[in-house]
Amino acid sequence: MMKKISQRILALTVAILAGLFLFFEGAGRTHSTVYAAETSGQYVFDYGNILSDMAEEVLQSKSEELAAAYGVGIYILTIDDYTDYEPAVDSIYEWSKSVYNELGLGLGNGRDGMLLTLSMADRDYSLIVYGETAQTAFTDKGQAKLEEAFLDDFKNNEWKSGMTDYQALSERFLQMAKDGKPFDSGILPGEETKALGQSAVWGGAGGILASLLSVFGMKSKMKNTGLQNQADRYVSAEGVQLTIQDDVYTHTTETRRSVKSSGTSRDSAGFSGRSGKF
């Protein structure tokens, strides 16, 4: 009898421990809800532990400076693996949107802000923008430029350097928007000369190559025509037949191409952004 009671107590104890384990494991997978209580004034969330304390402080300080100057939150979030956290979604882009809302990110009534998220397990990233002021500053082309700025560092595991570049270029875009000239050209002010020089180099190289090909072609034709100097050797037995052809103008074909208006493409939830691998 005592043996059966002991077995039942042991089974009950195991069941309770298993339940507690599942409970705490589940709680650990809903970090986005737990974090919501500690986000006031915070712009850098290094839950993936890839930054030193000093680097995190420097990045936090810079985002505070940008928030005070422009009223837009420039956020950074690192995580071990976004798929371990709620809500369970198929992409880091969708997950980041949920986190932005759950944590109440963004400044002012429009909740203006931009969030850069890194998920370290599979090297996933997303960049999302929300709010009218933020969307004006960070256009589609601006986001692509930001992506270039941090990805070249992240691919070499240079986390602080990439995040510093992200903040520095964000500041530049925010100031351009404040001045009434948001970035939407694909070329940053000051880079026009460099781009023109590259175009000239490639254009010159292309011109030289075309000239060489033309010369070689002419030489080939001249060589062939020099083989015979009597016209009758090129005339068939039936003689020469000449045909008169008149070119009559009928119409002009004009090709029109629609140009996408400047600005930012937003989804149904009001977000815009990008995602991929680093």
pLDDT at site 7:
54
pLDDT at 112 over 60: yes
Q: Model confidence at 134, in pLDDT bands (50, 70, 90)?
A: very high
Look at residue 263 in the predicted model and tell me its pLDDT: 74
| Type of residue numbered 167 | Q
DSSP state at residue 260: P
| Interval 185-209 mean pLDDT | 57
CA atoms within 13 A on the CB side of 57: 3
Contact criterion met (CB below 8 Å) for 274 and 144 = yes
Question: Which residue, 228, 231, 249, is CA-closest to 240?
Answer: 231
Does the model's pTM come out above 0.95? no
The larger pLDDT score, comparing residue 153 to residue 10, is at 153
Residue 176 zone, left/alpha/beta (φ > 0; ψ -120 to 50; rest): alpha
When the candidates are 3.40.630.30, 3.10.310.50, 2.40.50.140, 3.40.50.970, the CATH number that belongs to 41-188+266-277 is 3.10.310.50
**Residue of 33, 26, 31, 46 lying closest to 119 (CA atoms):** 46
DSSP letter at 87 equals: S
Which pLDDT belongs to residue 220? 54
Mean pLDDT of all residues belonging to the chain: 76
Average pLDDT over residues 16-39: 48
Domain boundaries, the chain: 41-188+266-277
